[in-house]
Amino acid sequence: MGAPGGWGNKLAKKLTTQELKDRAYDSFCKHIAEGKSIQTWYYESPDLTLSYKSMLNYIANEPEAFPAIKKEIAHSKGQEVWEEKGENMLASERKTQPAIYQMFMRNKFGWDKESTADREQRLQHEQSMLEKVYNSLHDSYKAQQAKQQ
């Protein structure tokens, strides 16, 4: 008789090797880059079965094994897929429903959720942070040049 609650499930074993981590993460990022929602991703192989929740936990707990830039690029590619669909829809001679597309994009990517004031405040904060980083790098560079002279 099996253990309660799926204990001992061999399909639920952990990502124990970097090879397994890479295969699962590649699949995860490919799914996102295709414009699909994270919530519809799963990974099944003879070695392992994972849900999107498990993958997000691995990413959060082992960031060194799952480069963030790869996921960020996948998100950009995924949004690009849907923006291209919108452009193609608008350029089409077929009768389309732009309101449906707008509603979908609002729900999928959070369009219209940030007020203009919030957006401006966020952009000012980001600009301020960039200026601080630039000034710090510039000061370090100047100090290094002064030492060399």
Q: Give the 3-state secondary structure of residue 90.
A: helix
- Residues 120, 57 share a domain: no
SS3 (DSSP) at 9: coil
Give residue 41's Cα distance to chain centre.
13
Considering the domain architecture, whether residues 11 and 69 belong to the same structural domain is answered as yes
Domain span at 141: 115-149
What is the per-residue pLDDT for 7? 47
| pLDDT attached to residue 112 | 65
Task: Give per-residue pLDDT as tens, 105-116.
Answer: 777 777 666 666
Instruction: Categorize the per-residue pLDDT at 133 as very low, low, confident or very high, splitting at 50, 70 and 90.
Output: confident
Tell me, what's the pLDDT at 46? 84
**Are residues 10 and 77 both part of a single domain?**
yes
Please check whether residues 29 and 71 belong to one and the same domain: yes
Residue 127 pLDDT > 50: yes
Whether residue 120 sits in one domain with residue 63: no
Percent helix, strand and coil across the chain, each to the nearest 5: 70, 5, 25
Same domain, residue pair 74 and 28? yes
Token duo for residue 137: 């790098």
User: What three-state secondary structure class fits 77?
Assistant: helix
Q: How many helices (H) and strands (E) does the chain have?
A: 5, 2
**Is 142 contained in some domain?**
yes
- Are 31 and 69 in contact by the 8 Å Cβ rule? The answer is no
pLDDT of residue 31: 97
Within this chain, do residues 49 and 119 fall inside the same structural domain, yes or no? no
Distance CA(108)–CA(99), nearest Å, equals 14
Assess whether pLDDT exceeds 50 at residue 6: no
> In this predicted model, what pLDDT tens digit does every residue of 48-96 receive, in sequence order?
899 999 999 999 999 999 999 999 999 999 999 988 988 888 888 777 7
pLDDT more than 90, % of the chain: 40
CA distance linking residue 97 with residue 107, whole number of Å:
16
**How many folded domains does the chain comprise?**
2
Instruction: Give 12-50 pLDDT, tens digit per residue.
Output: 568 889 999 999 999 999 999 999 999 999 999 887 899
With respect to residue 18, please indicate whether it lies within any of the assigned structural domains.
yes
- Residue 24 in domain: yes
Q: What distance, in Å, lies between the first and last C-alpha atoms of the chain?
A: 78
Phi-psi region of 44 (alpha: psi -120 to 50; beta: other; left: phi over 0): beta
Whole-prediction pTM value? Answer: 0.63
